[in-house]
């Protein structure tokens, strides 16, 4: 559920989203509310499995992208990776 306006989050994540698309992934904001921000990374049919950094590194990238959004920079982050084998 996305409460309020998630557009600033999407906008801040645009450079990261574009980089992920090069390797066959998509980044979706699935939740942005008082509970925090949830992001889902989807793997396309031709996604480069070796190209996706570990979740701990991706979280650093996401937090860096959100650092200029005071309402979101310290929010709880739920980062969901593609299921292996799917």
Computed over every residue of the chain, the mean pLDDT equals: 91
| pLDDT score recorded for residue 3 | 56
Residue 19 CA to residue 3 CA, distance in Å, equals: 26
Question: 37 with 77: CB under 8 angstroms?
Answer: yes
Percent of the chain with pLDDT over 70: 92
**pLDDT tens string 22-52:** 999 999 999 998 889 999 999 999 999 999 9
CATH number of 7-80: 3.30.300.130
Residue 86 CA to residue 83 CA, distance in Å, equals: 6
| pLDDT score recorded for residue 55 | 95
Query: In the structure, what pLDDT confidence band is assigned to residue 54 with cuts at 50, 70 and 90?
Result: very high
């Amino acid at each position: 559920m996305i409460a309020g306006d998630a557009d600033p989050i999407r906008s801040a994540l645009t450079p990261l989203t574009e980089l992920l698309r090069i390797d066959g992934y998509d980044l979706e904001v699935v939740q942005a509310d008082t509970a925090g921000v949830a992001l889902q990374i989807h793997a396309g049919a031709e996604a480069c499995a070796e190209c996706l950094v570990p979740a701990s590194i991706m979280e650093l990238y996401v937090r860096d992208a959100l650092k200029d959004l005071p309402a979101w920079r310290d929010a709880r982050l739920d980062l969901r990776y593609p299921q292996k084998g799917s």
